[in-house]
Amino acid sequence: MIFELPDTTTSQISKTLVKIREEGGVVALGRVLTLVIATTHGAEEEAIEAANDASREHPMRVIVVSTADQGDPAVSRLDAEIRVGGDAGASEVVILRASGDAAQDEQGLVMGLLLPDAPVVTWWPGTAPEVPGDSPLGRIAQRRITDASMQPDPQAALDALAASYRPGDADFAWTRLTLWRAQLAAVLDQPPYESVTTVQVTGSIDSPSTTLLAAWLSMQLGASTNCALTGLEHGSHGIRGVSLGRATGTIELVRDMPGVATLRQPGQPVHDVALPRRSLRDCLADELRRLDPDELYGEVITRGLGLLPDHKTPASEGATA
């Protein structure tokens, strides 16, 4: 069910939520958190769809704060939409479309709609604030999720994340590495147990995940690490492969086709390994599984990047893992 509330107030929205629960039997009991999504007009649906899918694992209230990129600042207006039942997955979705002065106080818009005594997670699916932890919606959240791949310059965004890092920050460029990290760890956990002396990570210029993977490997293995980023004209997006040099030979994990990587190890048969690109829903559900700070991500973003010779590259549009 969808309830439209044109030209409304936060108080009216809160009263409508109570009325819906009383009359329709839709209850907030069992909601484990409040997810606040900060986006712009016209860019809400993809994030809402991912949140609805993730809510089946993490029942929650979703509050979407959608502000106008442009418009007459003198026109102050708040339109709201409430989605429950089949239109909201296992959550209840409140969409706040604010413009003019109404859009200036994002924190004030959501404070009266937060679930009581429940943790708050704020997610910026698009452009993120310079310092997420100091932003109005970031200050009320235990976890703050950004996506470096969606910034105008994904590689430079990593530097900004390192400079602005606060415990509780997270980024989907790191979340997308989960399958790569698990596969590489499994390979190195097999004999012969030799030290890795050289690391080569390759990927596209629009992939901050490639840089974070190189930083993580450099920090964990203490090996000489090179991160090679290729231009988009090469036709390959995201992480392409990892090469680990040891005394007995080189281990290669290369993704030559979508969703499948080839694993080559000295003295062993060649294997095909499933390494699909993680969806927005998978990344969001993964981050919502923990509400405490991701200490490893914090170390990689603040210390691991500094171990790479030079990860800065020219600006590029869009990104994938």
Q: Which domain holds residue 105?
A: 2-172
State the pLDDT at residue 234: 53
Section 120-125 average pLDDT? 98
* Structural domain contains residue 292: no
Range 143-148, long-range pairs (CB < 8 A, 24+ positions): 143/119, 143/168, 143/170, 143/287, 143/291, 144/168, 144/169, 144/170, 145/121, 145/170, 145/171, 145/172, 145/284, 145/287, 146/170, 146/171, 146/172, 147/171, 147/172, 147/173, 148/172, 148/173, 148/208, 148/319
Q: Are residues 183 and 168 in the same domain?
A: no
pLDDT at 222 over 80: yes
The CA distance from 160 to 177, in Å, is 20
State the pLDDT at residue 85: 83
* Structural domain contains residue 288: no
Q: What is the phi/psi pair of residue 56, to 5°?
A: -70, -20
Predicted confidence (pLDDT) per residue in 248-283, tens digit: 999 999 998 889 999 999 999 999 999 999 999 999
pLDDT at 138 over 70: yes
* Structural domain contains residue 290: no
* Structural domain contains residue 312: no
Q: Are residues 54 and 151 in the same domain?
A: yes
Q: Are residues 163 and 262 in the same domain?
A: no
Total number of domains in the chain = 2
Domain stop point among 172, 201, 220: 172
Torsion sign, CA atoms 241, 244, 248, 249: positive
State the pLDDT at residue 128: 96
Per-residue confidence band for 86, with pLDDT thresholds at 50, 70 and 90: confident
* Structural domain contains residue 316: no
pTM of the entire structure? Answer: 0.91
Domain stop point among 129, 145, 172: 172
Beta carbons of 38 and 122 less than 8 angstroms apart: yes
Q: Are residues 202 and 168 in the same domain?
A: no
Domain stop point among 172, 200, 235: 172
The pair of structure tokens assigned to 159 is: 């530097």
* Structural domain contains residue 299: no
Predicted confidence (pLDDT) per residue in 276-316, tens digit: 999 999 999 999 999 999 999 999 999 999 999 865 433 33
Per-residue confidence band for 194, with pLDDT thresholds at 50, 70 and 90: very high
* Structural domain contains residue 309: no
Q: Are residues 116 and 83 in the same domain?
A: yes
Give the amino acid at 105. D
State the pLDDT at residue 101: 87
Look up tokens 């927005």; give the residue: 280
